[in-house]
Amino acid sequence: MLIAVTLTFSLVACGSTDERSITGLVRDTPLDVGAVQVTDVTSTGVFAEHDERFEFVARPDSLLVVYFGYTNCPDLCPTTLAELRAATRRLGDDSSRVDLAMITVDPDRDTASVMNGFLSSFSERFHALRPVSTDELQTVEDAFLASSNVRVGTDGVVEVSHSANAYVVDESGRVVVEWPFGHGVEGMYDDLHILLTDRSVG
């Protein structure tokens, strides 16, 4: 079950208390996605060197934002990723502690080169993830309780539907907050700032 989180982080500095609340969605029992693996085709950006398998675990003292989408998406994907780019930039130096991982739900059209070109316009700190089979995609979607469908009409037009949530994963492989489509730059920034600050003081 998803609930709007009521957990409040109290940040104390110079005798004053700054209380802010996570604005995204938090589950009673967080999703544990750290054991799931998917094919990594990243070839540009800071994560170009890898072993071709990716696990959904953030780097130490960092956060990983996971998104299911596709490069031909006309609205949901570019909007969400642009909002994440803006929110991350607002973090200043802490922006280096936020990584993006996008799993394509349309691997037939989303080749490695297409994905890398698309994601590089939103972040240097990205992982381009392209499942090599429907079973691999299904396994990842099941872990995040996500879904997608690709249908080719009789006219040859490809129609894609997919879950629109973005998932923030910590270094233990737990989803600590989920953002539905439209959560916005301010909400993303606030949540990232709180979570990163909590890791710094913890």
User: What pLDDT shows up at residue 154?
Assistant: 87
Tokens for 180? 């539905």
* pLDDT, position 11: 35
Does the structure show a pLDDT above 70 at 13?
no
**What is the band of 71 on the pLDDT scale with cuts at 50, 70, 90?**
very high
Sequential DSSP letters for 80-132:
HHHHHHHHHHTTGGGGGGEEEEEEES-TTT--HHHHHHHHTTT-SSEEEE--S
Quote the pLDDT of residue 14.
Answer: 37
Confidence of residue 198 (pLDDT cuts 50, 70, 90): confident
State the average pLDDT for the chain.
90
Domains of the chain, by residue range, sit at 30-183
Give the residue, 130 or 15, on which the prediction is more confident.
130
Q: Does the pLDDT of residue 17 top 90, yes or no?
A: no
The top-level CATH class assigned to 30-183 is alpha beta
| Entry pTM | 0.89
CA distance 138 to 146: 9
Given a cut of 50, whether residue 164 has pLDDT beyond it is yes
What counts of helices (H) and strands (E) characterise the chain?
A: 4, 13
Question: Is 196 strand, coil or helix?
Answer: helix
How big is the CA angle at 73 (ends 72 and 75), to the nearest 5 degrees? 145
Quote the percentage of the chain above a pLDDT of 90. 85
pLDDT value at 5 more than 50: no
Per-residue pLDDT tens digits for 29-62:
999 999 999 999 999 999 999 999 999 999 999 9
Q: Is 165 helix (H, G, I), strand (E, B) or coil?
A: coil
Q: Return the structure tokens found at 105.
A: 């739900």
Residue 19, pLDDT score: 53
What is the pLDDT at residue 51? 92
